[in-house]
Amino acid sequence: MRFGSATALRIYHYPPMRTRFLVLALVPLPLAAQARDSIIAVSSTQTMRIAPDRASFYLLVEGTAETTADALARVNTKLKAVTDALKTFGSRVSLNRPMDYGVGPAPANGYPPPSSMATNVARSIMRVQLNRPEQLAQVIAAALAAGASGSSSLVFESTVADSVRRARIGEVLNSSRLDAEAIANSLGARLGALVSVSVNGPFGYQGPSVLSFDNRYAQPPSQPPEIVVSTNVNVSYRIVR
């Protein structure tokens, strides 16, 4: 009886254990295959060009004299005259605090240099920003007439660039999804759930990397009067086979 009882127990327990083992062994295989080859990543970009509503540039002011102290005093006098001239434009013009740009011996023109030439030159620069870019010529002309020696290349800006970029995010997301669907269909699959999404918009404006105030020498490329706004979206989707 003990031997028969042991046999009955073996018949009862082993088949369910084998069945459970097979189920656990078979189910993870397709899941593992999907985890290895079920994600597609798509990147879409939309670029727009908008008109600027601000412009900025640097003014160069120079003062020459026989001594460095007199050169500095002369450049400060010219700076005040230039500042006063630009203040007549009111809120249309914003002026940053002037910065000393150096003082030292003045470059000699010709050889031998004339004995009566001033021996030292002091330079200062001042950043000027306009909220009416169409008045650039008038502002620069007023600064030069008041004593400025020259102006730098122009930088155009936009106060609505962020808003424009955000308004296009939905369009770019939709374009990314359509591309992802096309990729999934070409693979004989269909698009599944969204896995991740990131948005970045390389846009904006930077100051000139090189300041050149003399047109006789090579100038850096001038920025066109427009702002390029780019909206970039990166998405990842799961595909279902």
Per CATH, which fold does 36-53+159-208+222-241 belong to?
Translation Initiation Factor IF3 (3.30.110)
Angle at CA 167, nearest 5°, toward 163 and 169?
Answer: 120
Instruction: Identify the CATH class of 54-157.
Output: alpha beta
* The two three-digit tokens of residue 124, written as one number: 């200062």
Tens place of pLDDT for every residue, the chain, 241 residues? 444 433 333 333 333 333 232 233 333 434 444 445 589 999 998 888 888 889 999 999 999 888 889 989 999 999 999 999 999 999 889 998 888 888 888 776 655 655 555 588 999 999 999 999 889 999 999 999 999 998 888 888 888 888 988 899 999 999 999 999 999 999 899 999 999 999 875 544 444 444 555 555 555 556 667 888 888 999 999 999 8
Q: Residue 220 is which amino acid?
A: P
CA distances from 39 to 20, 53, 106 (A): 31, 43, 66
pTM for the model: 0.63
At 200, phi and psi to the nearest 5?
-145, 145
- Annotated domain spans of the chain: 36-53+159-208+222-241, 54-157
Query: How far is the first Cα of the chain from the last one, in angstroms, to the nearest whole number?
Result: 56
Closest by alpha carbon to 61, among 143, 138, 154, 119?
Answer: 143
